Amino acid sequence: MILKLAIKAFHEDNEFKNLSAYTIKNYKLLLSSFESYCINVHGITEVKDISRDIIKQFLWYCKSDLGNNHTTLNNKIRVLKVFFNYLVAEDKYEFDKNLFKNIKFAKVEDRVDTFTDKHLKQILRYFDRQSRNKPYHAYRNKMIVITMLSAGIRAGETVNLRWADVDFDNSMISVYGKKRKVASIPIAAKLRKELAEFYVYTRSFFDGQPGPYVFCASDKKQLTPDAIGSLFKRLKKLFNFDDVRLSAHTFRHSFASRALKNGMDSITLQRILRHESLQMTQRYVNMWGTALKEPNEKFNPLNDIDI
């Protein structure tokens, strides 16, 4: 089968399965790059001519020429496996058990970046200064940061948040997360107050008729995850922090870090972050958990020794 047609069929199948726009976009970007590599470097246009060596060389090209890090390479391996598994399941490619033999996911440094108070103050003060020129955009962007930090929600969940999802009476918000799952999570009193004030502002800005989304463009259209990404790319270039990655997900990590350091238990954190298993939550606990602190103080051997 022609590679171009195989990729087209794969994308159509994903759209039929109603995968998220974000997932489909990632699949398209990766497979477009893979197709171009096969054609331009190896002259390959047929799926049957793709071998394990071709895949390994493509991954090496991504690492050496494109500068992809291990996390990005792991994602590309994952997408390629999904693509070829689809082709095998649809009888568009003969099963080859050696296709991904010894092509293993790279070990990634177990490090999670978080913001310090200094980082956060710099970011928030920047929006305050920007409010002189673009008051709505600056206020909206500041509230995006505050909401992500306080609620620990993802970029996609942030842009999907509607005013109808904010329950001011009970201090809860409904978020649309991964796999289109809906969950209600609590919001702190301080965030509730900030959102209420932002709502009053948006009503005034839009002449009494704010758009349905909490964070929207000046024409009331919903922001996209790419718009959030562009915001943080601008901030990254502006601040050039050398000790932390300035990204939307770092706010989620920062929420987890501060919650655990302040004594939140792992089960509660898992429910708020909506991890499917405790494995990811445990990663946070291993780095920042305080559950061992009190027992260690109580039972430490040095307590009984006069030094």
298: pLDDT strictly greater than 60: yes
Name the average pLDDT for the chain. Answer: 88
- The continuous run of DSSP H or E covering 174 comes out as strand 172-176
Q: Is residue 108 part of a domain?
A: no
Tally of domains within the chain: 2
34: pLDDT strictly greater than 90: yes
Residues 144 and 271 in one domain: yes
249: pLDDT strictly greater than 70: yes
Whole-prediction pTM = 0.73
- Beta-bridged to residue 183, according to DSSP, are 175
Residues 86 and 127 in one domain: no
Q: What is the pLDDT of residue 109?
A: 60
Q: Is residue 302 part of a domain?
A: no
Q: What is the C-alpha separation between 288 and 290, in angstroms, rounded?
A: 7
Residue 22 or residue 163, greater confidence: 163
Q: What is the pLDDT of residue 265?
A: 82
Mean per-residue pLDDT, 59-75:
90
Residue 292 or residue 85, greater confidence: 85
Burial 240-258 (b: 16+ CB within 10 A, else e): ebeebebbbebbbbbbbbb
Give the other-Cβ count within 10 Å of 51's Cβ.
14
Give the other-Cβ count within 10 Å of 125's Cβ.
11
Residues of the chain with pLDDT > 90, as a percent, come to: 56
Q: What is the pLDDT of residue 110?
A: 58
Residues 158 and 259 in one domain: yes
Residue 189 backbone class (left: φ over 0; alpha: ψ -120 to 50; beta: rest): alpha
Mean per-residue pLDDT, 269-294:
74
Residues 275 and 169 in one domain: yes
Residues 68 and 167 in one domain: no
* Residue whose entry in the numeric block shows the structure tokens 């842009």: 159
Give the other-Cβ count within 10 Å of 268's Cβ.
13
Of the candidate ranges 86-100, 121-135, 233-247, the one whose mean pLDDT is the lowest: 86-100
Q: Is residue 104 part of a domain?
A: no
20: pLDDT strictly greater than 60: yes
Q: Is residue 156 part of a domain?
A: yes
252: pLDDT strictly greater than 60: yes
- Domain enclosing residue 30, as ranges: 3-90
Q: What is the pLDDT of residue 123?
A: 94
